[in-house]
Amino acid sequence: MILVTGATGTVGSEAVRLLSASHQPTRALVRDPSRVAHRDGLTDEIEIVTGDFGRPDTLDTALDGIDTVILVSPAVPGQEIAVIDSAVRQGVSHIVKITSKASADSPVDRRRGQARIEAHLEAAGLAYTLLRSNAYLQNLFALAPMIQQTQGFTMSAGEGQIGMIDARDVAAAATAVATAPDAHAGHTYWLTGPDLITYTDIAKQLSAALGHEVEYRRIRPDEHRAVMIRAGVPDAVATSNAQAFELIAEGDAAWLTSDVATLTGTAPRSLHTFITEHTAAFA
């Protein structure tokens, strides 16, 4: 049986939907079962279990009888480490970890945090696969209110290119690995969309879809951090975001691979597809 954590989140909810559609016995870990009370067309193979990363007893219950975990969360190190420790206690065979371009010496705090989790996973002794993704297209939803109110958005990514990926393709890659884990043990996959894009490209494609100009207003990383904090983003998240956008401006996200198609057999979704499907969210 497969356990999906973060099952109400962007990647986790799509992973559960895909596993349901392919009738894979799956447990979905949620902290608020009312969020999935309606089950949204999920098949009988999907079991919902309530648990919290901060409460190890609930994790042991959730992981009892599980073979493979799709580990996705806001990536607070202590929380994912608690899931890994519980997986070891419960005899889980394989963890498919959703991660980013992590490294122990990154200037970005959350990338150092991911590196800590990965090091713990490596030392834990069970089989694992890392899915290291480029930035999600779904991050663009955070710009929607500003686009609606000001016909444009502020951003500090300069003209940096990004191999942006639709999080649904991250979920598809994760379910492909989780349903045939032995073939992927010890592998790291670098997941991207099909194209390198800039925020200028995003503004152009949104302009075409919405039928009015969407302006990309370039700001400095320190200004961007202040904008995010004023909008209610927690200080630490705003700092990490601003650092990540500064790196993007310097070319840090300008990487593309064919790993999504290798894992899923299908080409990843493009920016154009994403915007066409979600135009109403920006209008």
Q: At CA 9, angle to CA 71 and CA 53, rounded to 5?
A: 50
Q: Are 126 and 87 in contact (CB under 8 A)?
A: yes
Q: Which stretch in 16-24, 83-91, 128-136, 154-162 sits in contact with ligand NAP by CB under 6 A?
A: 128-136
Is 31 a binder of ligand NAP (CB under 6 A)? Answer: yes
Query: Quick one: which of 20, 24, 73, 239 contacts ligand NAP (CB under 6 A)?
Result: 73
Residues 105-124 touching ligand NAP, rule: CB under 6 A, are 114
Query: Quick one: which of 11, 18, 19, 46 contacts ligand NAP (CB under 6 A)?
Result: 11
Is 8 a binder of ligand NAP (CB under 6 A)? Answer: yes
Is 135 a binder of ligand NAP (CB under 6 A)? Answer: yes
**Residue 2 host element (H or E):** strand 2-4
User: Per-residue x/- mask for ligand NAP, residues 139 to 158, rule CB under 6 A?
Assistant: x-------------------
- Is the CB of 29 or the CB of 203 nearer to ligand NAP? 29
User: Which segments of 10-103 does DSSP mark as H helices, in order?
Assistant: 10-21, 56-63, 77-89
> Which residues of 100-228 form beta strands (DSSP E)?
127-133, 152-155, 188-191, 215-218
Cα dihedral: 147, 242, 253, 16 (round 10): -70
Collapsing DSSP to helix, strand or coil, 99 comes out as: strand
Q: Which stretch in 51-59, 175-183, 193-201, 259-267 sits in contact with ligand NAP by CB under 6 A?
A: 51-59
Query: Quick one: which of 20, 68, 100, 175 contacts ligand NAP (CB under 6 A)?
Result: 100
Give me the numbers of helices (H) and strands (E) for the chain, helices first please: 11, 9
Binding site for ligand NAP (CB under 6 A): 6-12, 31-32, 52-54, 72-75, 79, 98-100, 114, 133, 135-136, 139
